[in-house]
Chains A and B, each alone.
Chain A
Amino acid sequence: MKQGAHPLSELLKHLDAWGRAALPATATALAMILAAAPVGLPSAVPALLLCCLFFWSVFRPAALPPPLCGLLGLLQDLLVFAPVGTGVLIALLMQGAALRLRRVLARQAFWTVWLAFAAFALAATLLGHGLQAVLTWRLPQAAAAVVQLLLAIGFYPPVAALLTRLHRSMQRAEDLA
């Protein structure tokens, strides 16, 4: 009996760890897909991706390894009909920058982190705008970029609150395991 229980609990533990590891990326992808539904706001998809990416990169860098991050960027490109590859590049650059700064940012108060995120979002939006202009050889509307930036900045506090709770519960589960 005891010999049979041991592999099973081992398997469950593995499954648990796998689920935890897959949760951030899956949840982000799901949120993006839901945001792309034709009932809600347009251009909320890049804003959501930015929020999630920034949060996980700063507070739990193992949750979103660069390949997954690139895949999420590709998903964004396909969902929002942007020139393919721009989302991938922006996501990767954002993650790289956030990983560089995470040791400073993780210890700051929420307001500081939000401000830093706003700067990140501005940079990402400008980069996206520029890339789109270069790749389509046409100047895209500035209003769309502004809306996307404002959405990202506005989305960050609720997203961060939600993800903080998720992060805490995941930490608790890891401590128990």
Chain B
Amino acid sequence: MIRLSIPLRQALSRLSLPVLIAAALGIMLLGKADTAMVERGRMALADTLAPVYGLITEPVSAVRGLLSELAEWRDLRAENARLRDENARLHRWQAAALSLGSENALLRRQLGFLPEAPASFHTARVVADAGGTYARAVLLAVPPDVPLRKGQVALDERGLAGRVTEVGSRSARVLLVTDMNSRIPVVLERSRARAMLAGTNGRLPRLEHYPADAPPQEGERVVTSAEAGVFPAGLPVGVVRRGANGTPEVELFARLDRLDMLRIFEFGLSGILPPEAVARPEPRARR
């Protein structure tokens, strides 16, 4: 160790603080000037400490897990009671459904009701929000062996999305119900009144041509109508909402802004009017 005289050492120790403060200011400027170097230093430190932190988090997360488990145990009683309630309620619904099912079967027998053929469907992935002729349309990627046809009905997992308007060998275009060119015959479920669902290019399509004596009620369910032989009856479409100026609009069940898969149903209906063809709808085929 270098021996220094006492006054010199005192002077040095007194100087060290101002010198260091000046160095700190220098570091600040350097950090401002060369951010990449500071970033490298930071990441080097973080890399060194990462295993240590990994070790620390193990017991901490174990303790946290234990605590949350304890909380679950505490809430077990309440949860049990809730589940029992729910179970009882569901049992009642089950009984109602069973009795309705048997009643339905009985009535069908008495009516000589011809059951509709079960619909077949293909699932296709939505690959693009296609523009083109229509503002609200999507493009589907379809495997070449899937026989799609114009006029088939597209549903997402919640409700009606649109109709197939153009079919290629590997793709198909679906006109969504929100498009301005889309007109869908619908039925208001409570009043059984017929109406037209007209797209506006906005988020909510409008209801038009409903009977004056049965205006759509807020919250009423809207389903498709079998009129014109385009759709089968009863596909879920949405719920009636009153718009800003009192026009009845339909909040769709289908989430058209985030479509990723669509089911294309073949209902065996041929009453479709192809969008580009000017032709009368054919009479509904008898089955």
Q: Which residues of A contact B (CB under 8 A)?
A: 33-34, 36-39, 65-67, 69-70, 73-75, 78-79, 81, 83-86, 88-89, 92-93, 95-96, 131, 135
B200 to chain A, nearest CB (A): 43
Given contacts A65-B16, A92-B21, A135-B31, 8 further A-B contacts (CB under 8 A): A39-B56, A67-B16, A85-B25, A85-B26, A85-B27, A85-B28, A88-B23, A96-B17
| 10 pairs of A and B residues whose beta carbons are closest in the complex | A85-B28, A84-B31, A85-B27, A88-B24, A89-B24, A39-B60, A84-B38, A37-B56, A78-B45, A37-B53
Q: Which residues of B contact A79 (CB under 8 A)?
A: 45
Q: Return the contact of A38 from the options B27, B30, B38, B57 (Cβ within 8 A).
A: B57
Q: Specify the chain B residue showing the minimal Cβ separation from A38.
A: B53
Asked if B215 is an interface residue, CB under 8 A from chain A, the answer is no
Q: Which residues of B contact A36 (CB under 8 A)?
A: 49
Kindly state the separation between the CA atoms of A83 and B56 in the bound complex, as whole angstroms.
27
Contact across chains for B28 and A84 when beta carbons are under 8 A apart: yes
Q: Return the contact of B20 from the options A33, A34, A75, A92 (Cβ within 8 A).
A: A92
Contact across chains for A70 and B23 when beta carbons are under 8 A apart: yes
Q: Which residues of A contact B31 (CB under 8 A)?
A: 83-85, 135
Contact across chains for B45 and A135 when beta carbons are under 8 A apart: no
Q: Specify the chain A residue showing the minimal Cβ separation from B55.
A: A37
Contact across chains for B27 and A78 when beta carbons are under 8 A apart: no
Asked if B258 is an interface residue, CB under 8 A from chain A, the answer is no
Asked if B42 is an interface residue, CB under 8 A from chain A, the answer is yes
Asked if B52 is an interface residue, CB under 8 A from chain A, the answer is yes
Q: Which residues of B contact A34 (CB under 8 A)?
A: 56
Contact across chains for B21 and A33 when beta carbons are under 8 A apart: no
Q: Which residues of B contact A74 (CB under 8 A)?
A: 27
Q: Specify the chain A residue showing the minimal Cβ separation from B58.
A: A39
B101 to chain A, nearest CB (A): 55
Contact across chains for B24 and A39 when beta carbons are under 8 A apart: no
Contact with A along B40-54 (1 / 0, CB 8 A): 011001000100110
Contact with A along B246-262 (1 / 0, CB 8 A): 00000000000000000
A75 to chain B, nearest CB (A): 8
Contact across chains for B56 and A81 when beta carbons are under 8 A apart: no
Kindly state the separation between the CA atoms of A43 and B232 in the bound complex, as whole angstroms.
63
